[in-house]
Structure 1
Amino acid sequence: MAAAVSRPFTNSEAIACLHDIINAFKLPENNIRIEEARDNAGNNMMQMMQIVFPVTTEIQMGVITKYGFSADGDGMIRFSQTIKNFEKLDPEIAELNAQIRTYVMPQMDAPPPMQ
């Protein structure tokens, strides 16, 4: 399967895809998976990368295939690069992608200052 769309990926498709990803994160079964992964990772950034990131990536892969991207690492990279390019031109896409990033990498609490 090709990693990139065989036709141009439009601005409106990017917006629709980002909305679909956010909605996929909010589905009860996916929301439970994400929250369990976050609970297991705690406030450890390495654990976030090892536990939360793969869950959110898998959910995103299930959506991007509907827009012509492959459900693998190459497809995710191409999708991410495409969205980054659109972000520069469209503030709505930038905002939607920022919302997605909060699922993928939620805000971490800073560790207490060392004494």
Structure 2
Amino acid sequence: MSGSWELLRFPIVNDRRGNLTFIEGSRNISFGISRVYYLYDVPGGSFRGGHAHKELEQVVIAVSGSFDVHLSDGRRSEVVSLNRSYYGLYLKNLEGVMYFGD
């Protein structure tokens, strides 16, 4: 797979009121945060994405629920399942196709 990816674990602060996780650009992730976008109300069996970002660093998080991230460069394919809000999939300079789905 051209580019790289790794699974990041973010801090969890828990007490009797519940859990809190935070992400700070250039601290918990290696880059500053320029944009945040999120998907919601996606019907089961649907797919999003279908493209790659050759010069971009991003972190994908399943804040609620779960989904798989499919990564392919035409020769190799990998599937990463995201199902915890304190884990993020760090993607850097991917040359291939990425899509989200079940």
TM-score over 0.5 (shorter chain): no
Greater strand proportion:
2
**Higher Cα Rg: structure 1 or 2?**
1
- Normalising by structure 2, what TM-score? 0.30
